[in-house]
Amino acid sequence: MKILVCISKTPDTTAKIAFTDNNTKFAQDGVQWIINPYDEWYALVRAIELKEKDPSTVLHLVTVAGADTDPVIRKALALGGDEAFRVNADSHDSFYIASQIAEIAKTGNYDLIFTGKETIDYNGSSIGGMVAELLNLPYVSLAIKFDLNGTTTTITREIEGGEEICEVQLPLVVSCQKGMAEQRIPNMKGIMGARTKPLKVVEPVATEVLTSIVGFELPPAKAGVKLVPADNPAELVRLLHEEAKQI
Amino acid sequence: MSVLIFIDQAEGHVKKASLEALSYGAKVAEQLGTTAEGVVLGTVTEDLAALGKYGVKKIHHVSNDTLNHFDAQVFTAVIAQAVTAANATVVIFSNNVDGKAIAPRLAARLKAGLVSGAVALPDTSNGFVVKKNVFSGKAFANIALSSPIKIISLNANSYKIVAGEGTAEVAPLNATVEASRVKVTAVNKVTGEVPLSEAEIVVSGGRGLKGPENWGMIEELAHLLGAATACSRPVADVHWRPHHEHVGQTGLAIAPNLYIAIGISGAIQHLAGVNRSKVIVVINKDPEAPFFKAADYGIVGDAFEVVPKIIEAVKKVKGIA
Ligand SMILES: Cc1cc2nc3c(=O)[nH]c(=O)nc-3n(C[C@H](O)[C@H](O)[C@H](O)COP(=O)(O)OP(=O)(O)OC[C@H]3O[C@@H](n4cnc5c(N)ncnc54)[C@H](O)[C@@H]3O)c2cc1C
């Protein structure tokens, strides 16, 4: 069994969001980078659990990013990956990124590809679906539970107002979200071991770029809260009815 | 040339998100000087021709039983055929559960640029630029699409439903439908509730409510307002409320017209999922709670005293009681 987990780096959840160069670039000063939480807590940890259950499992990681992502990938290795690939390219175009991942996936013949449901910076939720299409594989998105029995997977996924349980044969692509696993903290043995695990840098294949970021904007500042005294909640209801016109 | 809108349905009913997508797609078509068409898959009980009032001229309907179960791979292959049938250059999805699974697949298949989570009409004055949410609602990015076919998935509650006059021509589409490799074995739906992702009003509770036994007033207020209920992450983590109600960075991101947060501190990770709400009301006994900075209206007070009084006042406004 071979699993590939897609990893991306994102600013820490509490990072200040600001832009430079005439609002065309994300201001990186003082930003701490982390593994995208969905990739780490759900995709990677669930893959590690599968490997713990069946130690013959091979667990690879892939990221499409510049060398500044190496510390983040090392942390993912410390958590439990066996080997990592970094496709040496910087892009925000999901088709470009997915094409690079699909290329790695083809050469590795993976049974299972996990992604997080989205990244918390560009919120694209696109890579899993694109990789699946490029490899002509089934895709189950927004998985909250994943079990494996031989070559059959049983997956619970979110649907509007509930959940759906489905069965799919390997190989396939799954996007993971809350419920799949519980966050872990790497231990000393993992951190030491990660230093010697292979992190292979691969040059990208030629692929079209279909989208580009023209610029960023911050949402307009709020006018400030209008406080209503606690002994007069009816006034709040009046404001919501007459002023905000929402009820 | 046309703008093609994917009309998402569940159990025969067109989802509200699709009415937003149809209205949005019709406007995009108008901007481009072309027509809007729709595509719907599976058995539909609603009058499809009537969807013409949202601005679509023609609806391609593939009524194959296989399509009554969702499978991103099968749906993508069928929609690709509809793109050809409609000669579409722009394809619009809702950025909902189904849209998030199909839009990227279709984009990869057609080598089409994709903007997911769009919040506004494209700017076509100089190229084709679409505004989307980034950094979990803390900013917007304007994305230029350079491919011949362009795909947009629209965030919920980002474009208002515009209903006018007109009917659409319903054209059966005889598409090739592959066998699904995904076997659905069970569907568990919470019935009788407003789905959180589609709700216009959301009443949400946090750890300040002390325990699951106190959610009666949250549910009552939600029921009175026709709202969905939601909660903060710790509340779902300790199982006071089901996981699908958890909103925020690691939960669902929502953008209702009105979000009422009761006993929630407003941590940055919670705000990341609700900061796109049009009007935010915060009820918290701590005047220093960070949520007040993001709120439009607020009450500094004890939820157990304030919420029952709000319920009474809403009843009066609604003419109940
Ligand atoms: C990476 C990461 C991701 C996260 N993702 C999410 C997420 O998706 N969603 C999320 O919600 N959180 C998330 N969190 C957790 C988040 O940081 C907060 O811990 C959480 O939102 C706090 O929930 P709370 O406001 O319900 O509880 P608390 O922080 O305990 O706040 C309770 C509030 O209730 C008020 N209160 C108490 N009693 C009363 C009363 N009687 N009447 C009125 N008010 C009262 C208090 O003043 C307080 O403000 C995440 C954290 C991390 C690190």
Query: SS3 of B12, please?
Result: coil
**Ligand 1 binding pocket mutation candidate from B239, B270, B305 (most atoms within 8 A of CB):** B270
- Average pLDDT of the segment spanning B204-218: 97
Q: How close B311 comes to chain A (CA, Å)?
A: 9
B238-258, pLDDT tens digit by residue?
Answer: 999 988 899 998 888 999 999
Residue A78 CB contacts under 8 Å (≥ 6 apart), including other chains: A186, A190, A191, A193, A194
In a domain, B177, yes or no: no
How many domains would you assign to chain A? 1
Q: How many domains does chain B have?
A: 2
Tell me the C-alpha distance between B197 and B226, whole Å. Answer: 14
For residue B293, is pLDDT > 80? yes
Ligand 1 pocket, residue B265 CB under 6 Å = yes
Distance A46 CA to ligand 1 centre (A): 26
Q: To the nearest whole number, what is the mean pLDDT of chain B?
A: 96
Asked if the structure places residue A230 within a domain, the reply is: no
Atom of ligand 1 at shortest range from CA of B286: 47
The reply to whether A228 falls in a domain is no
- CA B236 to centroid of ligand 1, rounded, Å: 11
Same domain for B165 and B252, yes or no, is: no
Q: Chain B within 8 Å of A220 (Cβ-Cβ)?
A: no
| Residue A231 located in a structural domain | no
Residue nearest to atom 37 of ligand 1 (CA): B208
SS3 B295: coil
B44-83 tens-digit pLDDT: 999 999 999 999 999 999 999 999 999 999 999 999 999 9
Q: Quick one: pLDDT at residue B321?
A: 66
Domain residue limits at A202:
2-222
Residue B278 CB-density burial (10 A; 0-12 exposed, 13-18 middle, 19+ buried): middle
Residue B306: CB within 6 Å of ligand 1? no
| A204 in a structural domain | yes
Closest residue by CA, ligand 1 atom 51:
B269
Please report whether residue A175 resides in a domain. yes
Ligand 1 pocket mutation pick from B265, B274, B292 by most atoms within 8 angstroms of CB: B265
Question: Is the pLDDT score of A183 beyond 90?
Answer: no
Residue B163 belongs to domain spanning: 2-172
What is the residue with the minimal CA distance to atom 2 of ligand 1? B269
Task: Provide the angle, in degrees to the nearest 10, between the axes of the packed helices A127-135 and A94-108.
Answer: 50
pLDDT for the residue numbered B121: 98
Whether B137 and B203 map to the same domain: the answer is no
- The ipTM, to two decimals, is 0.96
Is residue B237 in contact with ligand 1, taking CB distance under 6 Å? no
pLDDT value of position B244: 87
Instruction: Indicate if the pLDDT at residue A34 is higher than 90.
Output: yes
Q: Which of A182-191, A236-245, B289-298 has the lowest mean pLDDT?
A: A182-191
Q: Which of B172, B206, B241 is the last residue in one of the domains?
A: B172
Residue pLDDT, tens place only, B71-126: 999 999 999 999 999 999 999 999 999 999 999 999 999 999 999 999 999 999 99
Report how far residue A197's alpha carbon sits from residue A74's, in angstroms, rounded to the nearest whole number: 9
For position B29, what pLDDT does the model report?
98
B189 strand-pairing partners: A162
Do B137 and B12 sit in the same domain of this protein?
A: yes
CA B232 to centroid of ligand 1, rounded, Å: 6
Q: What is the pTM of this model?
A: 0.95
Q: Is there an atom of ligand 1 within 6 Å of B206 CB?
A: yes
Instruction: Identify the weakest region by mean pLDDT among A29-33, A94-98, A158-162.
Output: A158-162
Answer whether residue A101 is part of any domain: yes
- Tell me: pLDDT of B164 over 80: yes
Q: Which of A160, A178, A216 sits opposite B96 (nearest CB)?
A: A160
Q: Answer whether A163 sits within 8 Å of B188, measured CB to CB.
A: yes
User: Residue B155 is which amino acid?
Assistant: N
8 Å CB contact of B145 and A247: no
With an 8 Å Cβ cutoff, are B141 and A213 in contact?
yes
For residue range B187-197, what is the model confidence (pLDDT) as tens digits? Answer: 998 777 788 98
Task: Give the span between the Cα atoms of A108 and B272, in whole angstroms.
Answer: 36
B319 pLDDT above the threshold of 70: yes
Q: Tens digit of pLDDT for each residue in B19-42?
A: 999 999 999 999 999 999 999 999
pLDDT at B189: 85
B103 to chain A: which residues are within 8 Å by CB? 126, 129
At B271, is the pLDDT very low, low, confident or very high (cuts 50, 70, 90)? very high
